[in-house]
Structure 1
Amino acid sequence: MSRDLDELQAAQRAFAQERDWGQFHTPKNLASALAVEAAELLEHFQWLTEEQSRTLPDDKRVQVGEEIADVLLYLLQLSDKLQIDVMEAAWRKIGLNAEKYPVDRSKGSIRKYSDI
């Protein structure tokens, strides 16, 4: 994991420990909280057109940024509890996706790998 993510994860861990929240931060609860925060992120885009979603006003961008941060922080807490290196898992997944979606068969297509 990059130093910045390590530091962020450690800061989030310390934040929770200072408040004795570890007792509530089970993997199940963190995964649930992550899903809730992702839904809150989605809510900002719910009734927007494609163009509106690309050109958010500054105040809305700040709100969306806060929801993105919530998603990231819960994801880091979950990976911390499960001792999963987020960067290693992400790089591995990019490699797996490259195998499932070779450029020559998937470029410009939205079809699932099993259908290409």
Structure 2
Amino acid sequence: MNTEQVLSQLQEFAKARDWGQFHTPENLAKSISIEAAELLECFQWSGDFNEKEVRHELADVLTYCYFLAMKLDVNPNDIVMEKLQITQEKYPVEQAYGKADKYDQL
């Protein structure tokens, strides 16, 4: 399934439940943060994790990210590629290879 199909399915899901009224940028950003915290909780206290739970929480994060992208009328793939270009410039391979340093510390 491609991105457009996923977005279409999400739109249909929300429309059938009249949830669009709650999907303000602020509420969606809050939901992304909440779901990201739930994803992080899967790894709390142990290196072990339940793959199914991680997949479900990651899906929740992505779902709200997609809803926010739709609300802002931006293509998720386009903004990821735009940011990747910026990040490539900040982290040139010859300086960043094998390092976890922030760009201003390279």
Could you state the TM-score of these two structures normalised by the residue count of structure 1? 0.86
1:24 corresponds to which letter in structure 2? Answer: F
Match of 2:32 among 22, 31, 34: 34
- What SS does the corresponding residue of 2:21 show, helix, strand or coil? coil
Mapped pair 1:67 → 2:65: no
1:91 aligns with 81
Equivalenced residue count is: 106
Q: Which runs of 5+ in 2 are unaligned?
A: none
Tell me the percent identity.
Answer: 41
Distance in 2 (alpha carbons) for counterparts of 1:63 and 1:111: 31
Runs of 4+ in 1 over 6 A off after TM superposition: none
RCO greater where, 1 or 2, for CA within 8 Å and sep 6 or more? 1
- What SS does the corresponding residue of 2:40 show, helix, strand or coil? helix
1:5-55 deviations in Å (ceiling 9; x for gaps): 111111111111111111111010011011100100000001123xx3xxx
What are the equivalent positions in structure 2 for 1:97-116 lying under 5 Å apart? Answer: 97-116=87-106
- What SS does the corresponding residue of 2:2 show, helix, strand or coil? helix
Q: Which runs of 5+ in 1 are unaligned?
A: none
1:42-82 deviations in Å (ceiling 9; x for gaps): 00001123xx3xxx4xxx11111110111111100000000
What RMSD over aligned residues (CA atoms) do the two structures have, in Å? Answer: 1.1
